[in-house]
Amino acid sequence: MCDTCGCNDPHNHPHDHAHPHEHGHGHSHEHGHPPPVRTVPVQKSALELNQRLADQNRGWFRAKGLKVFNLLSSPGSGKTALLERTLRDLPRAAAIVGDLQTENDADRLRAAGAQAIQITTGATCHLDAHMVAHALEKLDVAGLETLFIENVGNLVCPASYDLGEAKRVVLLSVTEGEDKPLKYPVIFRNADLVLVTKTDLAAAVGFDREKALAAIRQTAPRAQILELSAQTGAGIDDWLAWLRT
């Protein structure tokens, strides 16, 4: 370890040496002790590459006339069930779905009659713009108007990654606990729409609707809020209308 600057390479870079004693040899120059390090400004975001690719995706979506929605929630909030229902009711729509493993979600959506592309991320906890760009290579855009990107079920990491979407939709199911937006405020703050899902189960789980709505309004002050059940179809019309706005 280099004692002067703390880095691990003591031999390959000279430092002004700090002697407590007088030097025996004559220096022709001033024996100063300049700062041993210098600062190199960088100013670069860790997400710069993702942002560039997201902007490319966004340009591509615009060129193809595609309206794109990024769906985010914890695992099991009903993203895929909502898409099954939505893709049956909304023509000219397709989905890209992200999971760590399996084609199960894409299979479910194909069974609903729609084009669906699965991204399996392996161990990665979110989708990024690069993965989406590769999925787009497999997408048949002819006649498409709407594309859903179902993110990996996770309320933390996906918040950091712009995929190029037009709108962010965050789902909160009634079975999850009304204070979830307070526990995961970062992802909710970026939402354009918060969907309260599985409303058919609200009574069974003692869901406190007012408490949940207050938590959403606090953490996602700019978001619109809709409530629905993909199971019964309650609230689906409002959702479809929002998608068309």
Partner 1 sequence: MHELSLMSNLLADAAAAADGAPICALRVRVGPLSGVVVEALRFAFEALAPDTPAAGARLDVEETAPAFHCPRCGADYETPVGAYQCPGCGAADGELRGGHELELISIEVPDHV
Query: 38: how many CB neighbours lie within 10 A of its CB?
Result: 6
Cβ proximity to partner 1, 81 vs 157, nearer residue? 157
Q: Which is nearer to partner 1, 41 or 206 (CB)?
A: 41
Rounded to a whole number of angstroms, the minimum distance from the CB of residue 213 to partner 1 is 14
3-state secondary structure of 65: coil
Q: Output 10 or 59, the one with its CB closest to partner 1.
A: 10
First to last CA, the chain: 60
Least Cβ distance, residue 73 to partner 1 (angstroms): 15
For residue 165 the two structure tokens come to: 């979407």
Q: Give the shortest CB-243-to-partner 1 separation in angstroms.
A: 23
Complex with partner 1: residue 225 or 240, whichever CB lies closer: 225
CB of 211 to partner 1, least distance (A): 15
3-state secondary structure of 150: strand
Q: Whose Cβ is closer to partner 1: residue 2's or residue 112's?
A: 2
Please classify residue 72 by burial: count the beta carbons closer than 10 Å to its beta carbon, then call 0-12 exposed, 13-18 middle and 19+ buried: buried
Binding residues vs partner 1 (CB under 8 A): 1-2, 4-9, 12-15, 34-49, 124-126, 156-157, 159-161, 181-182, 185-187, 189, 217-219, 221-222
CB 177 → partner 1: shortest distance, Å? 15
**Of residues 39 and 245, the one with the C-beta less far from partner 1:** 39
Of 94 and 163, nearer to partner 1 (C-beta) is 163
- Tracing tokens 């993203």 back to the chain, one arrives at 79
Q: In what order do the strands lie in the sheet with 93-99?
A: 115-120, 93-99, 146-150, 67-72, 167-173, 193-197, 224-227
Q: What is the rounded CA–CA span in Å between residue 51 and residue 234? A: 37
Question: Residue 227: which of 206, 190, 192, 199 has the closest Cα?
Answer: 199
* Inter-axis angle of helices 236-244 and 79-89, nearest 10: 70
> What is the nearest approach in angstroms of partner 1 to the Cβ of residue 24?
24
Neighbours of 159 (CB within 10 A): 20
> Cβ(164)–Cβ(139) under 8 Å?
no
* In the complex, minimum distance from the CB of residue 140 to partner 1, in angstroms, rounded to a whole number: 30
